[in-house]
Amino acid sequence: MDMRGKTVLITGSTDGVGRYVAGRLAAKGARVLIHGRDAARAKTLIDGIVKAGHAAPTFYQADLSSMAGTRELAAAVKRDHQHLDVFVSNAGIGSQNDGPQRQESRDGHELRFAVNYLSGFLLAHLLLPLLKAAAPSRIVNVASLGQHPIDFDDVMITKGYSGSRAYAQSKLAQIMLTVDLAAELKDAGITVNSLHPATYMNTTMVRAGGITPMSTVEQGGAAILHLVEGDDVAGRSGLFFNGMNEARANPQAYDADARKRLRALSLELTGL
């Protein structure tokens, strides 16, 4: 896909792999909408892109640990734009951010489930009018190979909590959303795919977990860009990729009953 003039929203794009992808898309002539919580980080990204001779991205500041903050982000994007060619749901927190203890979002949900999954679920649905207006358009969910089946008797992991389990559950939920949305939007001209960009990229999230990086941000960014603009994935939907290669996710992702339960819960929690 020729990205010149295309409008792309990337959540969590003031740091890490999202930041890299934003820079690359700006260099290709896309109209880039960046998101984050830190205005200072956003300014350094924007300044760098402008210094390189490209159009300045538009920054949207929002806290995706809050349903209200997520709705405000969607409202701002809809206010400013008539269409959206690509939505990259990249914002997330790792297994150890702010410590290993169980944490809750502003709405009282387990924090990783709220930020990594629920915010993307809500944004995707609220932004559908813009994505439909731009069809053929794409949704890219940045997930992980780390996946843990959802225990529907304790989705918020109030018992036996671990950050790694919470993170892996949120990432599998993203993939389940991918499969569901792909089926829902198959006649709307919107493709929905998910991926594990690269293993333990050199990002703040990985370092916060005390993990020695194994991959570069550039490697992960290339995999995301493949789903954003690759001609070989045009018209293909509901897929999970490990880097550049199509792969299979945890079996629960392909369990229609589990996806139905997750969708019902998500609609209830987000108030859609």
Distances, alpha carbon 1 to alpha carbons 90, 158, 229, in Å: 20, 44, 5
The predicted structure's pLDDT at residue 268: 98
Q: Which amino acid is at 192?
A: V
The predicted structure's pLDDT at residue 205: 64
DSSP assignment letter at 213:
P
Query: Residue 28's beta-bridge partner residues?
Result: none
- Binned at pLDDT 50, 70 and 90, residue 75 comes out as very high
Whether 117 sits among the annotated catalytic residues: the reply is no
Average pLDDT rounded to a whole number, residues 137-162:
97
Strands of the sheet containing 240-242, edge to edge, are 58-61, 31-36, 7-10, 86-89, 137-142, 190-196, 240-242, 245-247
Beta carbons within 8 Å of 160's beta carbon, 6+ residues apart:
none
Outline where DSSP puts E strands in 76-163.
Answer: 86-89, 137-142
- Binned at pLDDT 50, 70 and 90, residue 113 comes out as very high
What DSSP letter does each residue of 42-83 carry, written as one string?
Answer: HHHHHHHHHHTT-PPPEEEE--TTSHHHHHHHHHHHHHH-S-
User: Considering 20, 167, 200, 254, which one is annotated as catalytic?
Assistant: 167
Q: Are 19 and 45 in contact (CB under 8 A)?
A: yes
CB atoms within 10 A of CB 215: 18
Q: Which of 104, 217, 86 is nearest to 158 (CA)?
A: 104
* Domain at 7-270: CATH code: 3.40.50.720
Q: Where are the domains of the chain?
A: 7-270
| CA separation for the pair 223, 180 (Å, rounded) | 22
CA angle 66, 105, 270 (to 5 degrees): 55
Structure tokens, 111: 């924090």
The predicted structure's pLDDT at residue 188: 97
* Better-scored residue on pLDDT, 97 or 269: 269
Judged by DSSP in three states, 245 sits in strand
- Binned at pLDDT 50, 70 and 90, residue 80 comes out as very high
- Which pTM was predicted? 0.95
pLDDT digits (tens, 9 = 90+) for 167-216: 999 999 999 999 999 999 999 999 999 999 987 666 666 556 666 667 78
